[in-house]
Amino acid sequence: MDDDSRRVLDPERDPAALKGLTHPLRLRLLGLLRLRGPATASELADRTGESSASTSYHLRVLAKHAFVAEAEHRDGRERRWKAVHSVTSWSNAAVLAAPGSRGLLETSRQRQLEHLRETVERHEADIATGRLGREWHEPSGISDLMPRLTPESLSELLDTVNAKLAELTARDADDPRAEQVVTVVAALPLAAAEPAEGRAGSRPVPDPATASGDGAAADGERGTDGVPLPGAGPVTDSATTREPRSGDGR
């Protein structure tokens, strides 16, 4: 992804811009413009179920902080908007260290969870109605594995996934069989739970009901079939940002 398509926010230099993104509707509007292209406030209101007054206001806020800009008008009756960048990123460490910036992480993560739920519903409907062919049935799915990794290994894992996705995306760019694939990477370390009474030093055991993936082979053959990568950018009309690791994109 070239640098012109990515905007990296710094909590020290861009506190107002970061604050401008801490609203779920703004995130969704930005995602819609990135996915579907330029639109008017009225068109976005129809897609989101909001009033045109509300979408117009939030688009102006996004424009104030240079996330969106005016696009070419079809006619002179209503302003059209376009996304300025395809990806917005930041350093998690910098955001967590900056007073007043943490709300962005909470808002964006909640929107990403909503995005995932909406994507699952749409995916299942596309399978049920035959809009997705049988060749997509096996490779699609979600995995929620729980490996034990060091911070360095987790960074290496995400770098590897990121690089591979970029490689495959470039390879399939002109293939007519390619479809949009929503990828959502979650890498959330958990502190060890308090040892159970009488079992000093014991560690929590993953729940086998959740530590698996859709159709994943028992031998780990398809361990991370649904893991999406940081840096892919928004691919649907909901999630609009990604969280790079500390220093990513700097």
DSSP string, 77-144: SS-EEEES-SEEEE-HHHHHHSTT-HHHHHHHHHHHHHHHHHHHHHHHHHHHHTSS-GGGTTT---B-
Q: What is the pLDDT of residue 4?
A: 64
Q: What is the pLDDT of residues 121-170, one digit of tens each?
A: 999 999 999 999 999 999 999 988 999 999 999 999 999 998 999 999 99
Alpha carbon distance 151, 147 (integer Å): 12
Model's pTM, two decimal places? Answer: 0.66
The edge-to-edge listing of strands for the beta sheet with 39-40 is 39-40, 80-83, 68-70
Q: Are 67 and 85 in contact (CB under 8 A)?
A: yes
Amino acid sitting at position 41: A
Long-range contacts of 111-115 (CB under 8 A, 24+ apart): 111/24, 111/27, 111/28, 111/238, 111/239, 111/240, 112/184, 112/238, 112/239, 114/24, 114/238, 115/31, 115/182, 115/184, 115/236, 115/238, 115/239
Beta pairing class for 6-9 and 87-90: parallel
Averaged pLDDT of the chain: 79
- The amino acid sitting at 31 is G
Strand-strand pairing, 80-83 and 39-40? antiparallel
* pLDDT category of residue 196 using cuts at 50, 70 and 90: low
pLDDT band at 100 (very low <50, low <70, confident <90, very high): confident
Residue 194 has phi, psi (to 5 degrees) of -60, 135
Residues 6+ apart with CB under 8 A from 37: 82
Structure tokens at 65: 């902080």
pLDDT of residue 234 exceeding 90, the answer is: no
CA atoms of 3 and 86, how far apart (whole Å): 10
Q: How far apart are CA 77 and CA 42, in angstroms?
A: 12
With a cut of 90, say whether residue 84 has pLDDT above it: yes
Q: Do residues 163 and 232 lie in contact, with contact meaning Cβ atoms separated by under 8 Å?
A: no
C-alpha span between 92 and 197 (Å, rounded): 35
Among 50-59, 175-184, 205-214, 238-247, the minimum mean pLDDT is found in 238-247
